[in-house]
C-alpha cells in the first residue's frame, strides 16, 4: 500500500494495482516541461499577490529548475527507483509537487498549489503542448508543399493520364497532379492555423471548476506563458475539450490528404503504371522475392491514417456523455493527442522525403497517354469550336470513333482510316469536312492537348505557373503568421525565464555562501 500526496479524506491508502491503473505518468513525460513552466508562472503570480514570500518563491523556482535540469539530462521519470514512492505518483503534477515538497519541506513546497487545481493545471499543460504541435505541424506542411512545388516545376510539361473512376479520363501533367495536392494541403494548413487561436487561451486559475477565493491574477500568468487571452468561464475552461477534438479533426483530415497522395504514389510505382520510381531510401524489399521494391512507408501512412481517424472517434466517444465538470475519463485524451501529433509529424517528414527523391518515368507516362483515348474530349471540343455543332452530337461522333478504334485492336484515333472515319460521319449524320476532321484527329496529341485547354485551373502550362504563384503567395502569408506566433511565444517564455532567474539569484547566492 502506498501513501498518495493528494489523499486527505481517505483513511486507507490506495491499493497499488488501483494506483497503477490510474497513473498517467508514462504518458506525462510529454508535458513535464510545460507543467514546470506553468508552475513557475503560477508561483510568480502567488508572490505578486503576497501568498509566497520572495525567499519562498526563490526556493521553489530553484527546486523546479533543478527538476527540469535533471529531467533533461537524466530522465527523471524513467530513472526513479522502483522502491521510491514517487515512482507510483498518479501523474506528473503530483510527482513534481512531491519532489518540491521532498526538497523544501511542506511548509514551503506545500504552498505552490495554492489557487489552482489539477483540473486547470492539466488542461494548461495540454494547451501549451498542442499549440507547439500546431506550429510544428504547420511548418512541416509548408515544407511538404514547397517540395511538391519544386517537383511540379520540373514537370510542367510531363504528360500523364488523369483518371476518374480509375479509368483514363483526360490528358494532364505530373505538375497538375502535384499542384492539386498542394491546394489540398493549403486547406489543411488553414484549418490547423485557425485552430491555434482557440487553443492559445489560458485556463489557469479556473481551479477545480468554480474558481478560487484567493485573489489570483489570471491575466498575469496568461501573459507570462504567452497566451493571447483567457478561457473566461471556469467550468468551460476545466471540462471542455472541443478545441482539442477540433485539433484531432484537423489532423484526421490532414492524414486523409496524405493517405490519398500515398495511394496515388503506390499505384504510380507499380509495374503496371510505372509512372514513378521510388528512391531506395524510401522503399523496402521482400524477404524471399529478390526483385521486389515495396512502397512500405506509403502503406504505413495509409494505415496510420486509420489510426489517427480512430483516435478522433475515440475522443468523441470519450466526451459525448460526460456531464459538466472535470472527470477522470479526460485523462485518456492525453495519449490520443500526443500519439496523433507524433504520427502526423512523422508522416509529413516521410511524404516530403519521398516527393524529394522519386523519379518520373516520362517516356512511359507519355507512351501510356498515347495509347489511351484521353484526347477524346479535346478532339470533340476542337470540333465544337470550329463548327459550332451541339456538343451532344459531337459526343456521339467521338464515342463512335473510340468504339471503332477499340474493336480494331485499340488503335489510336489518329490511325483510323479515312474511309472508316467517313462511314462513321455518315452514320452519325454530322456534316463536317472529312479532311478537316482527319487533320484534327492527327493533330490532337497528348502533348498539344494540354495547350488547347485554357480554362482557369487546367493543366495548361500557363495555368500551372499561375497556380504556383498563387500557392507561393499563400505560403508567404502563413510563413509570416507562423513566424509572428513563434516570436510572441519565444518572447513570452524568454521573459518568463528572465523573471525566474531574477527571482532565484538570491537563493543561488545563499547556496554559494554569497
The domain that holds 47 is classified in CATH as: 1.10.275.10
- Res. 93 pLDDT band, cuts 50 70 90: confident
Q: How far apart are CA 175 and CA 160, in angstroms?
A: 9
Give the pLDDT of residue 64.
95
* Residues whose CB falls within 8 Å of the CB of residue 215, separated by 6 or more in sequence, listed in order: 49
State whether 264 and 224 are in the same domain.
Answer: yes
State whether 354 and 266 are in the same domain.
Answer: yes
Based on the residue annotation, tell me whether 404 is a catalytic residue of this protein. no
Rounded mean pLDDT, 478-493: 97
C-alpha cell at 220: 498575469
Asked if 160 and 275 touch (Cβ cutoff 8 Å), the reply is yes
Q: Which of 42, 93, 98, 286 is catalytic?
A: 286
Q: How far apart are CA 252 and CA 267, in angstroms?
A: 22
Give the pLDDT of residue 508.
53
Give the pLDDT of residue 431.
86
- Higher pLDDT, residue 105 or 507: 105
Closest CA to 246 of 305, 189, 304, 315: 315
Question: 170 pairs with which residues across the strands?
Answer: 162
Q: How far apart are CA 492 and CA 202, in angstroms?
A: 14
State whether 382 and 361 are in the same domain.
Answer: no
Q: How far apart are CA 72 and CA 76, in angstroms?
A: 8
- Res. 71 pLDDT band, cuts 50 70 90: confident
Q: How far apart are CA 7 and CA 13, in angstroms?
A: 8
Asked if 365 and 174 touch (Cβ cutoff 8 Å), the reply is yes
Q: How far apart are CA 244 and CA 192, in angstroms?
A: 11
Eight-class DSSP state of 171:
E
Show the DSSP H helices in 163-292 as ranges.
Answer: 174-199, 218-224, 234-239, 242-268
Kindly state whether residue 497 falls inside one of the protein's structural domains.
no
- Res. 473 pLDDT band, cuts 50 70 90: very high
SS3 161: strand
Kindly state whether residue 9 falls inside one of the protein's structural domains.
no
State whether 141 and 237 are in the same domain.
Answer: yes
State whether 227 and 303 are in the same domain.
Answer: yes
Domain count across the chain: 3
Domain residues for 344? 119-368+461-492
Q: How far apart are CA 251 and CA 257, in angstroms?
A: 10
The domain that holds 278 is classified in CATH as: 1.20.200.10
Statement: residue 85 has pLDDT above 70: no
Q: Which of 58, 98, 152, 165 is catalytic?
A: 165
State whether 91 and 130 are in the same domain.
Answer: no
Kindly state whether residue 410 falls inside one of the protein's structural domains.
yes
Q: Which helix (H) or strand (E) holds 137?
A: helix 118-154
Closest CA to 86 of 100, 107, 73: 100
Give the pLDDT of residue 94.
86
- Res. 246 pLDDT band, cuts 50 70 90: very high
Mean pLDDT value across the chain? 91
Closest CA to 137 of 485, 382, 490, 472: 485
State whether 291 and 415 are in the same domain.
Answer: no
Based on the residue annotation, tell me whether 327 is a catalytic residue of this protein. no
Length of the chain: 514
Strands 276-277 vs 159-164: parallel, antiparallel or unpaired: unpaired
The answer, as to whether pTM is greater than 0.85, is yes
Distances (CA, A) of 260 to 255, 304, 337: 9, 12, 23
Strands 276-277 vs 359-360: parallel, antiparallel or unpaired: antiparallel
Q: How many CA atoms lie within 13 A of 205 on its CB side?
A: 24
* DSSP notation for 343-363: HHHHHHHHHHHHHHH-EE-HH
Rounded mean pLDDT, 2-15: 56
The domain that holds 428 is classified in CATH as: 1.10.40
C-alpha cell at 423: 462511314
Give the pLDDT of residue 2.
38
Torsion-angle region of 388 (φ positive above 0: left; ψ -120 to 50: alpha; else: beta)? left
**Interhelix angle 92-104/118-154, nearest 10 degrees:** 120
Give the pLDDT of residue 505.
74
Q: How far apart are CA 157 and CA 160, in angstroms?
A: 9
Statement: residue 83 has pLDDT above 70: no
- Residues 443-455, buried b or exposed e (16+ Cβ, 10 A)? ebbbeebbebbee
Determine phi and psi for 120, rounding to 5 degrees.
Answer: -80, -25
State whether 174 and 217 are in the same domain.
Answer: yes
Q: What's the burial of 363, exposed, middle or buried (CB within 10 Å: 0-12/13-18/19+)?
A: exposed
State whether 144 and 63 are in the same domain.
Answer: no
Asked if 62 and 507 touch (Cβ cutoff 8 Å), the reply is yes
Each residue's pLDDT tens digit, 261-302 = 999 999 999 999 999 999 999 999 888 888 889 999 999 999
Kindly state whether residue 148 falls inside one of the protein's structural domains.
yes
Q: Which of 79, 114, 149 is the last residue of a domain?
A: 114
Amino acid at each position: 500500500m502506498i501513501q498518495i500526496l493528494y489523499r486527505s479524506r481517505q483513511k486507507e491508502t490506495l491499493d497499488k494495482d488501483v494506483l497503477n491503473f490510474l497513473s498517467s505518468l508514462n504518458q506525462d513525460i510529454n508535458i513535464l516541461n510545460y507543467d514546470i513552466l506553468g508552475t513557475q508562472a503560477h508561483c510568480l503570480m502567488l508572490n505578486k499577490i503576497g501568498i509566497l514570500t520572495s525567499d519562498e518563491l526563490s526556493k521553489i523556482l530553484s527546486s523546479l529548475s533543478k527538476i527540469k535540469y535533471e529531467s533533461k539530462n537524466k530522465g527523471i521519470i524513467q530513472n526513479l527507483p522502483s522502491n521510491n514512492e514517487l515512482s507510483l505518483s498518479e501523474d506528473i503534477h503530483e510527482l513534481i509537487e512531491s519532489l518540491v515538497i521532498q526538497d523544501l519541506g511542506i511548509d514551503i513546497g506545500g504552498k505552490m498549489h495554492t489557487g489552482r487545481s489539477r483540473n486547470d493545471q492539466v488542461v494548461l499543460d495540454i494547451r501549451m503542448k498542442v499549440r507547439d504541435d500546431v506550429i510544428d505541424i504547420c511548418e512541416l506542411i509548408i515544407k511538404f508543399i514547397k517540395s511538391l512545388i519544386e517537383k511540379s516545376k520540373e514537370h510542367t510539361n510531363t504528360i500523364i493520364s488523369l483518371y476518374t473512376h480509375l479509368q483514363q479520363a483526360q490528358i494532364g501533367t505530373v505538375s497538375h497532379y502535384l499542384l492539386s495536392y498542394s491546394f489540398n494541403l493549403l486547406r489543411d494548413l488553414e484549418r490547423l492555423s485557425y485552430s491555434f487561436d482557440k487553443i492559445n487561451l489560458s485556463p489557469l486559475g479556473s481551479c477545480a471548476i468554480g474558481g478560487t477565493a484567493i485573489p489570483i491574477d489570471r491575466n498575469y500568468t496568461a501573459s507570462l506563458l504567452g497566451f493571447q487571452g483567457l478561457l473566461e468561464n471556469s467550468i468551460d475552461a476545466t471540462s471542455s475539450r472541443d478545441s482539442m477534438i477540433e485539433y484531432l479533426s484537423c489532423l484526421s483530415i490532414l492524414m486523409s490528404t496524405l493517405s490519398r497522395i500515398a495511394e496515388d504514389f503506390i499505384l504510380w510505382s507499380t509495374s503496371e503504371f510505372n509512372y514513378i520510381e521510388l528512391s531506395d531510401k524510401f522503399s523496402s524489399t521482400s524477404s524471399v522475392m529478390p526483385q521486389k521494391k515495396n512502397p512500405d512507408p506509403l502503406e504505413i501512412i495509409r494505415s496510420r491514417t486509420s489510426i489517427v481517424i480512430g483516435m478522433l472517434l475515440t475522443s468523441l466517444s470519450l466526451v459525448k456523455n460526460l456531464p459538466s465538470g472535470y472527470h477522470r475519463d479526460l485523462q485518456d485524451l492525453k495519449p490520443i493527442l500526443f500519439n496523433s501529433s507524433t504520427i502526423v509529424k512523422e508522416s509529413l517528414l516521410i511524404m516530403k522525403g519521398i516527393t524529394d527523391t522519386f523519379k518520373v518515368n516520362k517516356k512511359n507516362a507519355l507512351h501510356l497517354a498515347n495509347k489511351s483515348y484521353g484526347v477524346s474530349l479535346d478532339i470533340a471540343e476542337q470540333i465544337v469550336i470550329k463548327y459550332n455543332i451541339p456538343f451532344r452530337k459531337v459526343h456521339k461522333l467521338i464515342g463512335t470513333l473510340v468504339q471503332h478504334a477499340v474493336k480494331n485492336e485499340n488503335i489510336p484515333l489518329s490511325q483510323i482510316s479515312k474511309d472508316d472515319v467517313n462511314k462513321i460521319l455518315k452514320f452519325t449524320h454530322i456534316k463536317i469536312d472529312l479532311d478537316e476532321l482527319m487533320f484534327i484527329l492527327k493533330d490532337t496529341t497528348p502533348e498539344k492537348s494540354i495547350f488547347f485547354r485554357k480554362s482557369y485551373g487546367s493543366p495548361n502550362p500557363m495555368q500551372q505557373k499561375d497556380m504556383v504563384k498563387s500557392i507561393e503567395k499563400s505560403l508567404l502569408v502563413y510563413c509570416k503568421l507562423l513566424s509572428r506566433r513563434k516570436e510572441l511565444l519565444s518572447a513570452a517564455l524568454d521573459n518568463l525565464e528572465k523573471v525566474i532567474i531574477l527571482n532565484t539569484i538570491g537563493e543561488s547566492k545563499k547556496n554559494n555562501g554569497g
